[in-house]
Amino acid sequence: MGWLQLFLLHPVSLYQGAAFPFALLFNYLCTMDSFSTHARYLFLLAGGGALALAAMGPFAVLVFIPVICAVFLICLLSPQEVHRQTFCFQMSWQTLCHLGLHYTEYYLQELPSTRFCLALSSLMLLTQRVTSLSLDICEGKLAAASGGTRSRSSLSEHLCKALPYFSYLLFFPALLGGPLCSFQRFQARVQGPSNLCPRHPFRALTWRGLQILGLECLKVVMRAVVRAGAGLTDCRQLQCIYVMWSTAGLFKLTYYSHWILDDSLLRAAGFGSEFGQSPGEDGYIPDADIWTLETTHRISLFARKWNQSTARWLRRLVFQHSRVWPLLQTFAFSAWWHGLHPGQVFGFLCWAVMVEADYLIHTFAKLFIRSWPMKLLYRTLTWAHTQLIIAYIMLAVEVRSLSSLWLLCNSYNSVFPMVYCILLLLLAKRKHTFN
């Protein structure tokens, strides 16, 4: 029923839970003066390597190879070249791995190995860290490391200079999930003095544990509702809308629970606090803003708040550097990064059109809707429409087969995005007049 991430959530949660004591241990050891910076880097690196081998088995080599190549390129290339080269290599490697998944699923018609899917999921997160690091170097936020490799230093000196990069790309709290942590934040946390290291936020972790428990209880209820009802293959007319809404609700609850667990692991290791934040750097933002996601009546706001660190990474990597159709390029790249499955291509491109329509609809609504009863009615209707469109996009992205995607497109559910498409065409013609 689900896509790669949902297929993996149960194994990922198990491994993230197993890493929790080690995250707490790392935070505790950082309060000791005897735990040097070098030892901290090695602890995080060794933990990441051990977690990768335990979770991915032999497929861990799919993560280790790009890590070694990325560090080599970072240490070898100049700041002007490093981002383009590392980006091209990382996305090429990830695309090859995704093609392997396509070959297994669509050509061999076999279920892919769980360990291979875990490696692919970790590789996607690695791409975020590699490109974030290379962008920081290219934009001058970090000192370039290229000079060290070309100098006449010993191998041990080269490895010592490269150790922070290896540790950052493989550190275990973010290996299998979690919000994107910048290299500046990572380095400041690891190199920070022991007397300034954040203590265990037990109250915050307890609250997140209760949130996860509540979400898991809701998941049990929603799973029973989904199983008791008809699927997309059996639903009729308006019943398909209920099937879409309930299935998307189960997907969202699963993501929320997973994101909170990932955030808790980072916070347990001390990477989730404001400790070590550089001037001008965006503050730590968890991926799950459940209240905003469930109450917003704007698709554009939902897009910014859904998986927030990834949305911010896409904005920095693609949107801010695109001169033509930046919104479309951003969502197209997101489909590429996710694996270019047919449902993902359709879903993300549909999302881009819906966001563009959202901007125009709400801009015109501000001009014509004045009274508060009409504003309340407008907000209620657009909230319901937004949630149904998001459910439609989510099902499109999650389905694997073209037949399932066709069933979704051929159902009554397609009415909701079609309404926004029609409004986009109508309002786009009048846009210049009102400007």
Q: Which residues are catalytic?
A: 307, 338
CA atoms within 13 A on the CB side of 411: 24
The three-class DSSP label of residue 371 is: coil
The three-class DSSP label of residue 288 is: coil
Closest CA to 193 of 275, 281, 282, 271: 275
| Residue 169 tokens, joined | 């790309």
What whole-number distance in Å separates Cα of residue 126 and Cα of residue 61?
13
Cα 307 to chain centroid, rounded: 5
| Residue 318 tokens, joined | 């693609």
**Phi first, then psi: what are they for 293, rounded to 5°?**
-65, -35
What whole-number distance in Å separates Cα of residue 93 and Cα of residue 95?
5
CA atoms within 13 A on the CB side of 160: 8
- Non-local CB neighbours of 26 within 8 Å, separated by 6+ positions: 40, 43, 44, 47, 269, 270
Which residue is it, tokens 């203590």?
Answer: 199
| Residue 332 tokens, joined | 């197209």
- How far apart are the two ends of the chain, measured CA to CA in Å? 45
Taking residue 194's Cβ as centre, other Cβ atoms within 10 Å add up to 13
Angle, alpha carbons 144-146-147 (nearest 5°): 100
Which residue is it, tokens 């309340």?
Answer: 376
- Non-local CB neighbours of 204 within 8 Å, separated by 6+ positions: 267
| Residue 324 tokens, joined | 């033509």
DSSP letter assigned to residue 57: G
What is the torsion angle, in degrees rounded to the nearest 10, for the CA atoms of residue 310, residue 391, residue 2 and residue 403? -120
| Residue 121 tokens, joined | 């999921």
Angle, alpha carbons 1-213-13 (nearest 5°): 55
What whole-number distance in Å separates Cα of residue 217 and Cα of residue 197?
35
DSSP letter assigned to residue 235: -
